[in-house]
Structure 1
Amino acid sequence: MAHFSKYVLVIFEVLNEMYSALGTGAIGLICLCKFGLQRSSFIKTSAICALTYASFVYIMPSRKRIAASKNKVVCITGCDSGLGFSLAQHTVDLGFTVIAGFLSLDSKGCKVLRKRYGNNIIQIQLDITDSASVSAAVKTLEHFLGRNPGFSLHAIVNNAGVMVFGEFEWLTENLIHQQINVNLMGTFKFTNALCPLVRQHKGRIITISSHCSQATLPGLAVYGATKAALTAFNDGLRIEMAKYGVGVTTFIPGSFTLQSNIMAKQLQNVQEMHDNFTQEQHTFYSDYFKRYNIYLSFITPPPMPTKIEDEKMYSVYEETLLDEQPKVVYKNENLRYWFYHTLFKISPWFLRDYLVNKFMAMPSYIPTNSAKDNMLDYAQDADL
């Protein structure tokens, strides 16, 4: 009991000194250092000062902002729908010049933005997986900046992405390649082509990632792997480009699947998975595959591209563009996401997997009699 009281007293003294230092500001911190060193309490003083300084940084952020202006150009990929469609509008409303990349200039999203914004959003055809398309986009940017002295490339926003929902065994080689080619290789290709221009203008590279990059979820193994790879890519690229005055940032925008078209092709993807099943897979997954995809069918994309309604997301996005010294990661998450993803990080694996399943709330697998019989047949064949 005596030891416990001693520890409580020490904790109280530390908190009391931190509180006093915080209350009196920098002068309090200086006095705390002087008092501690005079009493030869170097370790205790260092610990308290470090904690106090960290508290100062946390409660009094002093991030300087730059002003948005027409002569700062922001190039955004994947603006046909969803997040890119929304960010293009918000960016031009902030006051930037926006060059928006569309997979098709005849897409619904492109037509809506053309009608709504006219020439205020410069529209270009851009397929980030195609070298010729990327090269043409770079030439367009160079030509635009050359014709407009005083304009600079402020940022590129790597937004274009593809997501296929389904267990890894179900995915065809084509569906796997789609996600890798767009999310990863396409982002590499586009960023690599624009590195010289971004470096010349001391701009910044903003790459859209996902909460799946921090905790890959079942049904999104390949998608999560590509987003985790982008985070790793940004970590290396950030250090490489920092010495040239280029900022590299990861932006995690949050969840808005019902307002996005990222799953617009899910029905076709499901059909492709089903058509490529072996007879054994048809038998084994029969009921589970149906229930799984009926559950996902309720996530229906809007008939027309719509601007995402999430004020906090836009506020965080503005920081990626306007912070004078951009942070490594910007994240938008609601309380539920914050709670679960915090638990994912600190929980042992068996508990984490349980929490992931609770978080996803997907239909459970229940072996059918035919599946059980099929498994017995395969086991007997193996014994033979």
Structure 2
Amino acid sequence: MNVKLFGGLQVFEIGYLLVLCFLPWVVAQPAITTLLTSLSLLCSCYYIYKKATSKKIDVKGKGVFITGCDTGFGFALAKRLDCLGFTVNAGCLSSVCEGAETLRSSTMGKMNVVQLDVTSDDSVNKALKFVTDHVNKNNLELWAVVNNAGLNFLGDVEFCSMDIYKRIADVNLFGVVRVTKAFLPLIRKAKGMICLKTISKVE
């Protein structure tokens, strides 16, 4: 987590707890109540100003590749970015699952569903070829890769076999490395970004 953000959250939480502790006394002091109300209004105005003046990303010509789009966060992110106008390449473990079929029916028409198993070099290379061909054909740039595919098995150490640990590492660790290494040339060319968002899934 960003250090500044973490520090800000701590300050905010401590301040919130102090306000709760001294709330009865604060309410009884009109001057303090007025001050807090004014500060709240100033913070609200600053937030609205920052929101209104924040730099918008031009989505034209920008493609995104997301792993693990069958369900969950990857599925939701693919739909959201598609609605925003990005060209989305959604990697799904199964290209015929319900999530993949739903993504294919995207109304924006910029959604591509790619069969992807992050534990397989062959599957990752095929996905890379598809995305590369699509990017070159449509004069796009691969602006971001989101490593979302993740796997977890909840259970006591004694009851988890080494095969389970190896499978988890193959998806959550080596899968991320495998996809990142494969797509890095496209990302470098576009001066894009690599994102990591691993969502645990119980099997």
Alignment TM-score, normalising by the size of structure 1: 0.38
One-letter code aligned to 2:111: I
Aligned to 1:201: 190
Mapped to 1, the partners of 2:87 and 2:162 lie a distance apart of: 39
The yes-or-no answer on 1:93 pairing with 2:88 is no
State the SS of the aligned residue for 1:199. helix
2:99 aligned residue (109, 134, 140) = 109
Q: How much identity, in percent, do the aligned residues show?
A: 35
8 Å CA contact retained: 2:141, 2:186: no
2:68 aligned residue (73, 78, 81) = 78
Aligned to 1:167: 156
State the SS of the aligned residue for 1:128. coil
State the SS of the aligned residue for 2:105. helix
State the SS of the aligned residue for 2:152. coil
Mapped to 1, the partners of 2:169 and 2:194 lie a distance apart of: 20
Q: Give the number of the structure whose alpha-carbon radius of gyration is greater.
A: 1
CA shift for structure 1 position 117: 3.9
Aligned to 2:36: none
One-letter code aligned to 2:167: Q
Aligned to 2:125: 135
Aligned to 1:191: 180
State the SS of the aligned residue for 1:165. coil
Mapped to 2, the partners of 1:152 and 1:89 lie a distance apart of: 19
Mapped to 1, the partners of 2:91 and 2:149 lie a distance apart of: 9
Residues 141 and 120 (structure 1), Cα distance of their counterparts in 2 relative to 1, 3 Å cut: same
**Structure-to-structure mapping, 1:118-133, within 5 angstroms:** 119-133=109-123
State the SS of the aligned residue for 1:75. strand
Q: As a proportion of its length, which structure holds more helix?
A: 1
Deviations 1:75-134 (A, max 9, x none): 100000111111100111111110100111111111122234484311111111100111
Mapped to 1, the partners of 2:105 and 2:142 lie a distance apart of: 25
Mapped to 2, the partners of 1:187 and 1:115 lie a distance apart of: 28
Mapped to 2, the partners of 1:170 and 1:87 lie a distance apart of: 34
One-letter code aligned to 1:200: K
Deviations 1:264-316 (A, max 9, x none): x2xxxxxxxxxxxxxxxxxxxxxxxxxxxxxxxxxxxxxxxxxxxxxxxxxxx
8 Å CA contact retained: 1:68, 1:94: no
Mapped to 2, the partners of 1:203 and 1:127 lie a distance apart of: 23
Mapped to 2, the partners of 1:120 and 1:199 lie a distance apart of: 23
8 Å CA contact retained: 1:80, 1:107: yes
One-letter code aligned to 1:76: I
One-letter code aligned to 1:132: D
**Higher RCO (CA 8 Å, separation ≥ 6 residues):** 2
Residues 198 and 116 (structure 1), Cα distance of their counterparts in 2 relative to 1, 3 Å cut: closer
**Structure-to-structure mapping, 1:1-384, within 5 angstroms:** 64-117=54-107, 119-149=109-139, 151-209=140-198, 262-263=201-202, 265=203
CA RMSD of aligned residues (A): 2.3
State the SS of the aligned residue for 1:100. strand
8 Å CA contact retained: 1:156, 1:206: yes
State the SS of the aligned residue for 1:74. strand
Alignment TM-score, normalising by the size of structure 2: 0.70
Mapped to 2, the partners of 1:145 and 1:115 lie a distance apart of: 21
Mapped to 2, the partners of 1:85 and 1:148 lie a distance apart of: 24
8 Å CA contact retained: 2:150, 2:198: no
Mapped to 1, the partners of 2:58 and 2:84 lie a distance apart of: 6
Mapped to 1, the partners of 2:108 and 2:152 lie a distance apart of: 30
Residues 117 and 135 (structure 1), Cα distance of their counterparts in 2 relative to 1, 3 Å cut: same
